[in-house]
Structure 1
Amino acid sequence: MKPLVVILAGGIGKTFSPLKINKTLLPIFGKPILQHVIEMVETADFHEALIVTNPENELWLSTYQPFNITLQTIVANPRGMGDALLQARESIGSRPILIINAVDMVEPSFLKTLMKPIQNSYGFITGLKIKRNISAGYIKENNGKAIGIVEKPTPGNEPSDMVNLIFHYFSEPEDLFTIMNKIPTSDDQYEKALTELMAQRTIDIVPYNGSWSKLKYPHHVLDMMNLFLKMNKVNSVARSAIVSPHAVLDGFIIIDENARIDAGAIIRGPAYIGKNVKIGSHTLIRQSVIEEGSIIGFGSEVARSYIGPRSKLHHNFVGDSVFESDINPSWGTTFANWRIDGNNPRLLLPNCSIETDGKKLGSIIAKNVFFGVNCAVMPGVTIGAGAKIYPHKVIAVAVCENEVVK
Structure 2
Amino acid sequence: MKGVILAAGVGTRLAPITNTRSKPAVPVANKPLIEHIIGSLKGAGIVDIVIIVNTSGELEKLLGDGSRLGVKLQYAVQEEQLGTAHAISLVKEMVTEPFILVNGDHLVPLSVVNELVEKFNGTATITLLKADDLSALSTCELDGNKVLKIVEKPKPGEELSPYASIGTYAFSPELFDYIDKVEKSPRGEYELPSAMDLMLQAGKEMTWVETGQFQHLAYPWDMLSETVVFLDEMEESREGTVEDGAVLKGKVSIGKGTVIKSGAYIEGPVLIGEDCTIGPNCFIRAYTTLGNKCRVGNAVEIKNSVIFDGTNIPHLSYIGDSVIGENVNFGAGTVLANFRLDKQNIKMEVKGKLVDTERKKLGAIVGDNTKFGSNVVVNPGRKIGANCNIWPGTVVIKDLDDGEEHK
Q: Assess same fold via TM > 0.5.
A: yes
2:167 partner SS: strand
Distance 1:148 1:253, change over 3 A: farther
CA contact (8 A) 2:270 2:289 kept: yes
> Within 2, Cα distance between the matches of 1:147 and 1:268?
49
The counterpart of 1:76, out of the listed 72, 78, 96, is: 78
Contact kept in structure 2, 1:349 and 1:381, CA below 8 Å: no
User: How does 1:34-53 map onto structure 2 within 5 Å?
Assistant: 34-53=34-53
Q: What is the aligned partner in structure 2 of residue 86 from structure 1?
A: 89
The separation in 2 between residues aligned to 1:13 and 1:262, in whole angstroms, is 38
Aligned counterparts, 1:193-272, within 5 A: 193-200=195-202, 201-209=204-212, 211-232=213-234, 234-238=235-239, 241-272=240-271
> Does residue 325 of structure 1 match 2:326?
yes
Matches within 5 A, 1:132-147: 132-133=132-133, 136-144=136-144, 145-147=146-148
Q: 1:265 to 1:165 in 2, by over 3 A?
A: same
Query: Aligned residue for 2:301?
Result: 301
- The AA in structure 2 aligned to 1:123 is A
Question: Which amino acid in structure 1 is aligned with residue 224 of structure 2?
Answer: L
Give TM-score scaled by structure 1 length: 0.91
Partner of 1:380 in structure 2? 381
Contact 2:370 2:389 in 1 (8 A): yes
Work out the CA distance in 2 between the residues paired with 1:351 and 1:67.
39
Q: Structure 2: state its 5+ residue gaps.
A: none
Change (3 A) 1:63 1:117: closer
Letter in 1 for 2:296: I
- Corresponding residue for 1:16? 14
Deviations 1:379-400 (A, max 9, x none): 1100111111111211121111
Contact 2:328 2:368 in 1 (8 A): yes
Secondary structure of 1:236's match?
A: coil
Identity of aligned residues (%): 30
Q: Which moved more, 1:165-174 or 1:186-195?
A: 186-195
Please name the residue that 2:272 is paired with: 273
**CA distance in structure 1 between the aligned counterparts of 2:135 and 2:246, rounded to whole angstroms:** 43
Alignment of 1:143-182 (within 5 A): 143-144=143-144, 145-153=146-154, 158-171=159-172, 172-180=174-182, 182=183
User: Cα–Cα, structure 1 residues 187 and 304, in superposed 2: closer, same or farther, change >3 Å?
Assistant: farther
Amino acid at match of 2:243: S
Instruction: Please say if residues 107 and 231 of structure 1, whose CA atoms lie closer than 8 Å, have aligned partners that are also in contact.
Output: no
- CA 1:179 to 1:308, structure 2 compared with 1: closer, same or farther past 3 Å? same
Tell me, yes or no, if structure 1 residue 6 matches structure 2 residue 7. no
Q: CA RMSD in A?
A: 2.1
Partner of 1:32: 32
**Amino acid of the structure 2 residue aligned with 1:340:** L
1:146 partner letter: V
Distance 2:223 2:189 in 1: 23
AA of the residue aligned to 2:254: I
After TM superposition, give the deviation of residue 4 of structure 1 in Å. Answer: 1.6
Q: Distance in 1 between the 2:250 and 2:360 partners?
A: 25
The normalised TM-score by structure 2 is 0.91
Deviation string 1:257-276 (CA, Å, 9 cap, x unpaired) is: 11111111111111100011
Structure 2: distance between partners of 1:342 and 1:389: 27
Q: What are structure 1's unaligned runs of at least 5 residues?
A: none
Could you give the per-residue CA deviations for residues 130-150 of structure 1, whole angstroms, max 9, x where no partner exists?
A: 3x3266314222213323344
| C-alpha distance 70-349 of structure 1, shift in aligned 2 (>3 A) | closer
Change (3 A) 1:79 1:355: farther
Residue 97 of structure 1 deviates from its aligned partner by: 2.0
| Counterpart code for 1:334 | V
CA–CA separation in structure 1 for the residues paired with 2:224 and 2:69: 29
**Offset of 1:67 from its aligned partner?**
5.1
Q: Deviations over 1:46-80 (max 9, x none)?
A: 13111112311112122742454322222223322
> Does the 8 Å contact 1:133/1:154 carry over to 2?
no
